[in-house]
Structure 1
Amino acid sequence: MDTMRDRLAPAVSRLLDKDPRVAVVLAEIGRDGFTDAWRRHPDRVINVGIREQLLVGAGAGLALTGMRPILHTFASFLVERPFEQVKLDLGHQGVGAVLVSAAASFDWPAGGYTHMSPGDVALLDTLDGWTVHVPGHPDEAEALLRHAVAAGDDKVYVRLSVQSNADRRPVDGEHFVTVREGRSGVVVAVGPLLDAVLTATEGLDATVLYATTVRPFDAAALRRAAEAAGTDVVLVEPYLAGTSASAANDALRDVPHRVLGLGVRRAELRRYGTAEEHTAAHGLDARSLRERISAFLGTRAGAGIASAPGA
């Protein structure tokens, strides 16, 4: 199966052909995928070189002229390095863009910590008005990208990953999807962590919600699930642990509840390893999730997880 990023250039190239408002701004990374699109639309496929602050500034300038810019590079160079430009050139000036990242939290461990960005969504949470999509399958990534481009002039972040669930789910760019229903708590699985969560919760009496759009947070879906399954909530996110805890707390602010935030730990892992080894080290593999979710929900973990896929 191709990756989410494999879909990016073909999908965006089709958007360039169809919509004269769409423009693409790159900072070297990913430029080869847009060679043909650049030949057809040399005025709307722009490579600024290794200048990430200029990447965002140029995108904001295009937005000020009425264009719908799509900005792409690795997450650490798209959100963290040019954060001042994200805050001022886009937010302060009141214009929007579609930021599409790659390399997510630890997708490319060989790149080292400079190429990791587990805090990207938490950082965007310090700003107002951002929509954040975290697809869990290449088909979902393509659908959410089209949704983001069509979203008027909003500020949208699409977080791509090499990690993927086996199957796509219906996504609409707004709502959580109920994948499993139970009565002993709610587990919210974000993006590419759904398969691990389903394996981890097999046989547990818990509701599983699938989230691919995390900002705005679907508070109504969480409240409905909590009314039926109880107000113990586990968030399983592929970025910094606890990033959505305040959103979940706000959703349930008028009822007694508990929230456990699972995700990438703050401690830096200083060995490159593989993405799978980083997943396990952060406790996001199915076995670790089983233990932590079961302990929190007060449910005894069943046998068989040792041989379950993804464990």
Structure 2
Amino acid sequence: MTATPTGTTADTDTITMREAFAARATALLDADPRLAVVLAEISTDLFEDAAAAHPQRVVNVGIREQLLVGAAGGLALAGLRPIAHTYAPFLVERAFEQVKLDFGHQGTSGVLVSVGASYDWAEGSSTHFSPRDVALFDTLPGWRVFVPGHAAEVPALLDRAVASDESAYLRLSLRHNAEPHGTRDGSLDVLREGSRATVVAVGPLLDNVLAATAGLDVTVAYTNTPRPLDTAGLRDLAARTGNTVAVVEPYLEGTSAAIVSGALADRPHRLLSVGVGREELRRYGTAADHERLHGLDAEGVGARLRAFLAAG
């Protein structure tokens, strides 16, 4: 790939993850003639300048999400590095056959960037919810998954995704932490050390985890790169905390359980998975309501962790 520009192109303290993504993608389009962006109406306003500057490499296919992914796969076959972008349930669940075939089966790679996360647009109801997206990617080989917790983390994660020859999924959300965190290489970022358990917080749930663990004797580690999960770092931290581990993730509860258990399979261990429940919540409310009802606010996470530690 052509060398990408350094730094960010916008003030990521005041913009959303989606805006940070669009600004960085526009800069990358200017720098790299192999990059192309495929849209399905969503975020077209954020790519107006890019489309005007690169009309052959910014394509809007309309509200046709299967075509969105198929077109991106075709661009990859033609030697371009595609970025396909729309709402998570349409990009992953609706177009999963195209993800499976037009990338995996055809032996191509690209970057899929979603918005909406598990329940960001709560008033849009279940059609716009996607807590199962990362679990679906776990059924496919070779996909990297990035889950930023702050807009300032987005540019570097997009750079990594674009520069790689592997396929990548970048999961953007309106939910966010107060400050950016994370490491450049995807290793676990240890923010607090304790002895009774290792708690891994994924993406925008870090602040809730930090609040939930205040006063608890636990290690808190952060990742915005859950795939591939830093299992070597996890093994090291778990060894120091009695091989007792909790994973708090902003998508379907238990999504990471097999990976964590596999990493610790050679030693007795305890694992708590905290995430979005499988029950469909039909009184939609707000994203904050869903976070609370799924037990992912600080109070809910704290209650689960305290019960887990007490049972040990």
Q: Distance in 2 between matches of 1:141 and 1:192?
A: 12
Structure 2 gap segments, 5+ residues each: 1-13
Are 1:212 and 2:224 counterparts? Answer: yes
Q: Equivalent residues in 2 for 1:150-299 (5 A)?
A: 150-151=163-164, 153-298=165-310
Q: Distance in 2 between matches of 1:18 and 1:299?
A: 54
Shift of residue 65, structure 1, vs aligned partner:
1.3
Q: Equivalent residues in 2 for 1:30-45 (5 A)?
A: 30-45=43-58
Are 1:63 and 2:76 counterparts? Answer: yes
Are 1:50 and 2:63 counterparts? Answer: yes
Q: Distance in 1 between matches of 2:32 and 2:273?
A: 40
Task: Give the structure 1 partner of residue 118 of structure 2.
Answer: 105
Q: Distance in 2 between matches of 1:297 and 1:93?
A: 47
Matched to 1:9, the amino acid is A
- 8 Å CA contact 1:2–1:138 kept in 2: the answer is yes
Q: Distance in 2 between matches of 1:82 and 1:278?
A: 25
Task: Give the structure 2 partner of residue 305 of structure 1.
Answer: none
Q: Distance in 2 between matches of 1:160 and 1:252?
A: 29
Runs of 4 or more off by more than 2 Å in structure 1? none
Structure 1 gap segments, 5+ residues each: 301-311
Q: SS at the partner of 1:213?
A: coil
Q: SS at the partner of 1:214?
A: coil
Q: SS at the partner of 2:261?
A: helix
Matched to 1:142, the amino acid is P
Shift of residue 299, structure 1, vs aligned partner:
8.6
Task: Give the structure 2 partner of residue 144 of structure 1.
Answer: 157
Shift of residue 51, structure 1, vs aligned partner:
0.7
Q: Distance in 1 between matches of 2:185 and 2:161?
A: 8
- 8 Å CA contact 2:199–2:246 kept in 1: the answer is yes
Give per-residue Cα distances to partners, 1:120-157, cap 9 Å, x unaligned: 00011111110000010101112101111111x21100
Q: Distance in 1 between matches of 2:309 and 2:102?
A: 44
- 8 Å CA contact 1:4–1:142 kept in 2: the answer is no
Q: SS at the partner of 1:183?
A: coil
Query: How many aligned residue pairs are there?
Result: 299
- 8 Å CA contact 2:182–2:224 kept in 1: the answer is no
Which of 54, 77, 91 aligns to 2:104? It is: 91
Shift of residue 6, structure 1, vs aligned partner:
1.5
Q: Distance in 2 between matches of 1:110 and 1:159?
A: 20
- 8 Å CA contact 2:83–2:110 kept in 1: the answer is yes
- 8 Å CA contact 1:173–1:212 kept in 2: the answer is no
Q: Distance in 2 between matches of 1:83 and 1:150?
A: 24
Task: Give the structure 2 partner of residue 304 of structure 1.
Answer: none
Taking structure 2 as the reference length, the TM-score comes to 0.94
Q: Distance in 1 between matches of 2:199 and 2:154?
A: 22
- 8 Å CA contact 1:204–1:299 kept in 2: the answer is no
Matched to 1:186, the amino acid is T
Matched to 1:106, the amino acid is Y
Between stretches 69-78 and 291-300, larger displacement belongs to 291-300
Task: Give the structure 2 partner of residue 124 of structure 1.
Answer: 137
Q: Distance in 1 between matches of 2:103 and 2:283?
A: 36
- 8 Å CA contact 2:250–2:275 kept in 1: the answer is yes
Q: Distance in 1 between matches of 2:84 and 2:92?
A: 11
Q: Distance in 2 between matches of 1:209 and 1:230?
A: 16
Q: Distance in 1 between matches of 2:270 and 2:16?
A: 36
Q: SS at the partner of 1:163?
A: coil
Shift of residue 170, structure 1, vs aligned partner:
3.6
Task: Give the structure 2 partner of residue 74 of structure 1.
Answer: 87
Shift of residue 182, structure 1, vs aligned partner:
0.6
Matched to 1:248, the amino acid is V
Give per-residue Cα distances to partners, 1:16-48, cap 9 Å, x unaligned: 000001100001111111111111000000000
Q: Distance in 1 between matches of 2:300 and 2:283?
A: 20
Q: SS at the partner of 2:21?
A: helix
